[in-house]
């Protein structure tokens, strides 16, 4: 591929590095010191990032937090845990090791060596993909900034901050690519990533779901389970990219995402466990007065977060998605496990459409339905958590169960968006339609908000959530994961 005339040759990573250099101002494993211009550009972006973190990052003042930091990107022992003041967290640039023999696995460039530079003909598309991914990372930090004020425990507070610092690092990951490979335009986009803000009326984040504030911890756990999981799937497609630096960045980000998935899965799990326990003990669904969140409320939160997260996959049919695939920019989830030609021309699949008041399958070209392909994998993944949560209800002796609503419920994007689909998949007429009864009501949100009282005593948990079975990094549950600032305790 030709060198881009505007940026010159991209910096060549010097072989498979895995150790991270912490002596540098910006910790990295990309030999940043070997490219003074790039290093200076990123060093001038760094204080802007820190300003952003101080203004729009976690609002609860703390002294330090027991955080993990990457020390190597290899398979074993990449993480180091220690108490660090959050503003001194070593945000840096970590790419998975380079495979010098890597080839492009799909599309028209299949079998060609992976690109180490941006191919001129795909420059605009690649930049756009990186900017959209990059925009979601700081957005979630902004959305969650006040949650610390109402943390159900110090353990949960620590997990929130871990997710926050890592989303900040994911921003670094995308900004590195913009600076290193996209020249002046890339640097301008990197500035914009800090100027757009979640919920800002004049300058909002790019995707709708990232402009809603995360107001309570049940929303946070649902967001981390459903919306962050969308992020995991998007990263999974970029990890396949023919543009090798993007693939390697996303591969390492996915390792960090695993913890975010854990926070969501276990957060909802522990909420459901507590709810089940209170339902069983008191023999009623109405457990507000016992300090628990009724199962119906949990289900409505689930319905909301699941349906808005499905919208993030875009329309089922998309020419862009097909073009990204054919060009080698974005693969499928676990591309290497697919048993087909990885080109997909002339192949079809079924997709659900609403016709004459019924949901029926219709055959469509596979290449045009790659968003749907990704969404299917995501839905399958989401269903595992629900099974786990239902086990908690079962072992408490409660008959009620949680469910994923139908994929067509409450959709604003794609084939279902002009129809009214109930959570169980009935197509409803306008007259029978009232989505509100399946979504969190004002009363639901007020009830949840009333339970959101901070519990900052080590080893104690708010009334609505069960303690976890284990602490973080083999520490006890009652460990001093966070040292709050004096003013926070007052």
Rounded Cα–Cα distance for residues 51 and 457 (Å)? 30
Task: Answer yes or no: are the C-beta atoms of 456 and 489 closer than 8 Å.
Answer: yes
Question: Is 230 a residue that touches Fe ion (CB under 5 A)?
Answer: no
Beta carbon of residue 415, minimum distance to Fe ion (angstroms, whole number)? 28
What is the nearest approach in angstroms of Fe ion to the Cβ of residue 321?
Answer: 21
- Residue 457's SS3 state is coil
- Helix axis angle, 123-143 to 183-195, nearest 10°: 20
Residue 260 touching Fe ion (CB under 5 A): yes
Stretch that binds Fe ion, among 77-85, 130-138, 189-197, 336-344 (CB under 5 A): 130-138
Q: Which is nearer to Fe ion, 268 or 427 (CB)?
A: 268
Structure tokens at 45: 């972006």
- Residue 84 pairs with which residues in a beta bridge? 65
Query: Is residue 274 at the binding interface for Fe ion, with CB under 5 A as the rule?
Result: no
Q: Kindly tell me the sign of the dihedral angle through the C-alpha atoms of 406, 407, 413, 418.
A: negative
What count of other Cβ atoms lies within 10 Å of the Cβ of residue 245? 23
Segment lying near Fe ion (by CB under 5 A), choices 84-92, 201-209, 239-247, 255-263: 255-263
Of the two residues 172 and 464, which places its CB atom closer to Fe ion in the complex?
172
Q: Give the nearer residue to Fe ion in terms of CB position, either 41 or 253.
A: 253
Which of 149, 440, 439, 451 shows the shortest CA–CA distance to 292?
Answer: 451
Q: Give the torsion through C-alpha atoms of 158, 164, 168, 173, to 10 deg.
A: 90
Virtual torsion, Cα 55, 59, 62, 64, nearest 10 deg: -60
As a 3-state breakdown, the chain gives helix, strand, coil percent values, each rounded to 5, of: 50, 10, 40
The DSSP line for 273-315 is HHHHHHHHHHT-S--GGGT---HHHHHHHHHHHHHHHHHTT--
Q: Which stretch binds Fe ion (CB under 5 A): 202-210, 258-266, 336-344, 427-435?
A: 258-266
**To the nearest whole angstrom, how small is the minimum distance from the Cβ of residue 247 to Fe ion?**
16
Q: Does 68 participate in binding Fe ion (rule CB under 5 A)? A: no
Cα–Cα distances (Å) from 326 to 42, 232, 322, in that order, read: 33, 22, 6
* Distance of alpha carbon 202 from alpha carbon 193, whole angstroms: 14
**Distance from chain centroid for Cα 445:** 23
Of residues 148-167, those binding Fe ion (CB under 5 A): 167
Stretch that binds Fe ion, among 15-23, 53-61, 192-200, 223-231 (CB under 5 A): 223-231
Candidates 134-142, 272-280, 376-384, 401-409; binding stretch for Fe ion (CB under 5 A): 134-142
In the complex, least distance from residue 175 CB atom to Fe ion, rounded to whole angstroms: 13
Question: In the complex with Fe ion, which residue's Cβ is closer, 160 or 297?
Answer: 160
Q: Which is nearer to Fe ion, 109 or 170 (CB)?
A: 170
The stretch among 48-56, 81-89, 129-137, 213-221 that binds Fe ion (CB under 5 A) is 129-137
Q: Is 196 one of the binding residues for Fe ion (CB under 5 A)? A: no
In the complex, least distance from residue 191 CB atom to Fe ion, rounded to whole angstroms: 20
> Please, which residue, 228 or 316, has the CB nearer to Fe ion?
228
Q: Which residue blocks in 197-243 are alpha helix, DSSP H?
A: 217-222, 228-238
Question: Which CB atom, from 137 or from 311, has the smaller least distance to Fe ion?
Answer: 137
Q: Which stretch binds Fe ion (CB under 5 A): 13-21, 106-114, 141-149, 257-265?
A: 257-265
**Number of residues lying near Fe ion (CB under 5 A):** 6
The contacts of residue 320 (CB under 8 Å, 6+ apart) are none
Radius of gyration of the chain, Cα coordinates, nearest whole angstrom: 23
Backbone torsions φ then ψ of 365, nearest 5 degrees: -65, 135
Closer residue to Fe ion, CB minimum distance, 249 or 368? 249
Asked if 170 is part of the footprint of Fe ion (rule: CB under 5 A), the reply reads yes
Q: Choose between 104 and 171: whose C-beta lies nearer to Fe ion.
A: 171
Binding of Fe ion by 228 (CB under 5 A): yes
Binding site for Fe ion (CB under 5 A): 137, 167, 170, 228, 257, 260
């Amino acid at each position: 591929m030709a060198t881009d005339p505007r940026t010159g040759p991209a910096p060549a990573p010097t072989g498979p590095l895995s150790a991270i250099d912490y002596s540098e101002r910006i910790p990295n494993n990309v030999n940043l010191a070997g490219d003074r211009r790039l290093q200076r550009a990123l060093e001038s972006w760094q204080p802007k990032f820190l300003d952003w973190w101080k203004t729009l990052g976690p609002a609860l003042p703390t002294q330090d937090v027991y955080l993990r930091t990457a020390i190597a990107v290899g398979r074993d022992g990449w993480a180091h845990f220690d108490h660090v003041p959050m503003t001194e967290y070593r945000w840096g640039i970590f790419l998975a090791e380079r495979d010098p023999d890597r080839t492009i696995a799909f599309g028209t460039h299949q079998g060609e060596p992976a690109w180490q530079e941006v191919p001129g003909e795909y420059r605009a598309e690649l930049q756009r993909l990186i900017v959209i991914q990059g925009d979601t990372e700081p957005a979630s930090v902004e959305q969650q900034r006040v949650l610390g004020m109402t943390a159900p425990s110090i353990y949960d507070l620590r997990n929130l901050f871990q997710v926050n610092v890592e989303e900040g690092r994911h921003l670094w990951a995308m900004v590195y690519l913009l600076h290193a490979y996209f020249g002046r335009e890339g640097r301008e986009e990197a500035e914009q990533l800090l100027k757009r803000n979640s919920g800002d009326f004049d300058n909002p984040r790019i995707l709708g779901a990232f402009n809603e504030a995360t107001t309570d911890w049940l929303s946070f756990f649902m967001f981390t389970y459903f919306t962050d999981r969308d992020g995991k799937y998007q990263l999974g497609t970029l990890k396949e990219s023919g543009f090798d630096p993007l693939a390697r960045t996303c591969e390492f980000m996915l390792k960090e995402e695993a913890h975010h998935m854990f926070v969501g899965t276990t957060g909802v799990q522990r909420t459901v466990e507590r709810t089940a326990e209170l339902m069983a003990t008191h023999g009623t669904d109405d457990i507000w007065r016992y300090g628990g969140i009724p199962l119906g409320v949990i289900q409505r939160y689930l319905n909301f977060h699941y349906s808005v997260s499905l919208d993030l996959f875009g329309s089922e049919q998309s020419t862009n998605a097909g073009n990204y695939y054919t060009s080698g920019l974005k693969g499928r989830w676990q591309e290497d496990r697919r048993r087909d030609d990885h080109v997909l021309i002339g192949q079809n699949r079924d997709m659900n459409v609403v016709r004459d008041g019924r949901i029926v399958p219709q055959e469509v070209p596979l290449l045009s339905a790659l968003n749907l392909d990704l969404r299917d994998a995501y839905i399958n993944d989401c269903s595992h958590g629900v099974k786990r949560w239902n086990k908690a209800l079962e072992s408490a002796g409660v008959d009620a169960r949680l469910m994923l609503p139908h994929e067509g419920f409450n959709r604003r994007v794609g084939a279902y968006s002009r129809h009214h689909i109930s959570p169980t998949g009935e197509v409803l007429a306008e007259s029978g339609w009232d989505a509100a009864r399946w979504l969190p009501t004002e009363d639901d949100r007020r009830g949840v908000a009333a339970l959101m009282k901070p519990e900052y005593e080590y080893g104690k948990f708010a009334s609505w959530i069960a303690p976890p079975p284990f602490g973080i990094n083999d520490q006890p549950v009652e460990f001093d994961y966070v040292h709050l600032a004096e003013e926070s305790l007052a």
